[in-house]
Structure 1
Amino acid sequence: MDYPKETLHRMKRVEGQLRGVLSMMENGKDCKEVVTQLSAVRTAIDRTIGLVVSENLVTCVKEANETDGREPDELIKEAVNLLVKSR
């Protein structure tokens, strides 16, 4: 599956945020600051998950329907369940 450059860019930003949090922890920064940054990382990851699912949903449904004959409704429910699990 091909992922858009925007999605890859988001993940690189998340990677940078995580490195920043690790640096904060290594430098003994205040707990509140660390938790705030971790919350920002979690939000960024949640949004990226939604983006990946929404960008690829149509393609995945079409491909799965063509290859194994699964119904679109079943595939959409599966995608929604992936989103719910990520929370």
Structure 2
Amino acid sequence: MQLDGDVVSGVINRLRRVEGQIGGIIRMLEDGRDCKDVVTQIAAVSRALDKAGFAIIASGLEKCIAAGEDGQPDRAQLEKLFLSLA
């Protein structure tokens, strides 16, 4: 799948930040940090992953889905893809 280069760069940067955040969460758990702080960071990671997924979908939705016989994207596949991020 070919996506816009700016979108790919943005998603990669976001995923690298998420990677760092996950490392931080692991350290927080190892250090016995407060549960509320850990959960807050997990929620932030979850939102960042959602945003990365939505950016990919918004940029290349038609490229992600095989066109039906009429040349239009398969709506059932589109719905499934969106719901996978819900």
Query: What is the TM-score of this pair, normalised by structure 1?
Result: 0.78
Give the CA deviation at 1:84: 1.3
Structure 1 vs Structure 2 CA RMSD? 2.1
Q: Is residue 2:34 matched to residue 1:53?
A: no
Structure 1 counterpart of 2:34: 30
Equivalent positions of 1:34-45 (< 5 A) are 34-45=38-49
Task: Give structure 1 stretches of 5+ with no counterpart.
Answer: none
Q: Identity over the aligned pairs, expressed in percent?
A: 32
CA contact (8 A) 1:14 1:44 kept: yes
Task: Give structure 2 stretches of 5+ with no counterpart.
Answer: none
CA contact (8 A) 1:53 1:79 kept: no
Question: How many residues align structurally?
Answer: 82
